[in-house]
Amino acid sequence: MDMILTDEQELLLESLDELMERYGTEEYFKECDEKHEWPQEFTDALLENGFQMLGVDERFGGTPVDVTTLMLVAERVCKNGAPIYVYGNLCSLKDMTEFGSPEQQEQCFAEVMAGRPGFVLGFTEPGAGSDSSSLATTFKRRDGKVYLNGSKSFMTNACNSKYMLCVARDADDDPNDKANRSKFSMWWVQLHDDEGNLMPGITIDPLEKIGWNMGNTCEMSLNEVELEEKDLVGVEGQGFIQAMVNFEVERVLACAQSLGAAECVYEDAVRYATQRIQFGKPIGNNQLIQEHITEMYIMIENMRSWVYGCAAKIDRGESVMVDSACAKLYCGRSAFEVCDKALQIMGGIGYTKDSRVSRIWRDQRVYRIGAGTDEIMIHIAGRALQKPFKN
């Protein structure tokens, strides 16, 4: 897809490139990855220069932009070698800007403006991954209070989030009743006090992962966690619908990040192929290496078409239910294949931690799982694509 950028978009990306030359070096990210530390200096720089607040309404201190511009920035962040997951979390803040009370919004954006996550989304559970209707965390009213009980899993940045947006079902509802299968509510839960201590009834345990070493991913237990009625977010019983409000944009954002990561490793691999001498000539002169490079290029350009085709539709107000699922499926698979080919071209050096290709290869694999598995994307698209032919 031939992208013609506006002058404003060109200047925005040039500014981002300059910022990353200073704060987003590979040496810095390598150190953070090895130490399993969040790249705070880099994300602070993004925030201070307005990038983390792109797409957020002005009344919350943000800068409204179209979805296409958000995707351009996400792509460029990852193309410049940043961890794929450090940009774009603000897409999830739409749950708070759309449904949060003034007090909840104030608390959320106070965290954001301090360079911390606004909240962690408490949705996935040990028994409820792709099958969200199996969500078992409950809330129950008693003596004028509300009490949460249950478990959450795969919660990104729960260790350093002060708040959680928790999705739970009413303990008095029968989960076997079809009318209640997707009847959930959202609750605003404080996880840590001002000193960083866990609130009563909450335990958090980090998970060891293959990749994403700079961010924590956690399991959480909720045991009689006490809330007030004012902690309800939005409309009771509409939590599932509220959580879905931005899923399609988030899927396309994941695709833009995958596109950027693929471009990053592609450039590293092609540069290596032109400089690595074996048998008296660059390995890029060999036809099999040229085949890898050509296939990588084709996949990257196809990914670009999916990302910006979807973004353009969203900006026009068109539905991307099918397209976002197909894009997520294609980009998740293709970006990892590009990473794998890049590692193959670079050989042994690509498999070492001296090469950022190995870090991006590890980080990219989860995008066939997170934000909707390949199998669920196929189900969403396959079911919808058949619908017009059933009559």
Q: What is the per-residue pLDDT across 310-336, written as a single tens digit (0 to 9) for each?
A: 999 999 999 999 999 999 999 999 999
Q: What is the pLDDT of residues 255-304, one digit of tens each?
A: 999 999 999 999 999 999 999 999 999 999 999 999 999 999 999 999 99
Phi, psi of 156, rounded to the nearest 5 degrees: -75, 125
Domain ranges within the chain, ordered by starting residue: 7-97, 101-105+115-233, 244-389
CB 231 within 8 A of CB 191: no
Nearest CA to 266 among 211, 332, 339, 347? 339
Q: Grade residue 245 by pLDDT with cuts at 50, 70 and 90.
A: confident
Structure tokens at 291: 């085949």
Residue (of 355, 361, 353) closest to 268 by Cα position = 355
Residue range 101-105+115-233 forms a domain whose CATH class is: mainly beta
Topology annotation, domain 7-97:
Butyryl-Coa Dehydrogenase, subunit A; domain 1 (1.10.540)
Using the predicted structure, report yes or no on whether residue 82 has a pLDDT greater than 80. yes
Tell me what pLDDT residue 1 has: 62
**What are 293-314's pLDDT values in tens digits?**
999 999 999 999 999 999 999 9
189: which 2 tokens? Answer: 């839960």
In words, the CATH class of domain 244-389 is mainly alpha
Note the pTM of the prediction, 2 decimals: 0.93
How far are the Cα atoms of 81, 94, 189 from residue 85, in angstroms, in the given order?
Answer: 11, 18, 24
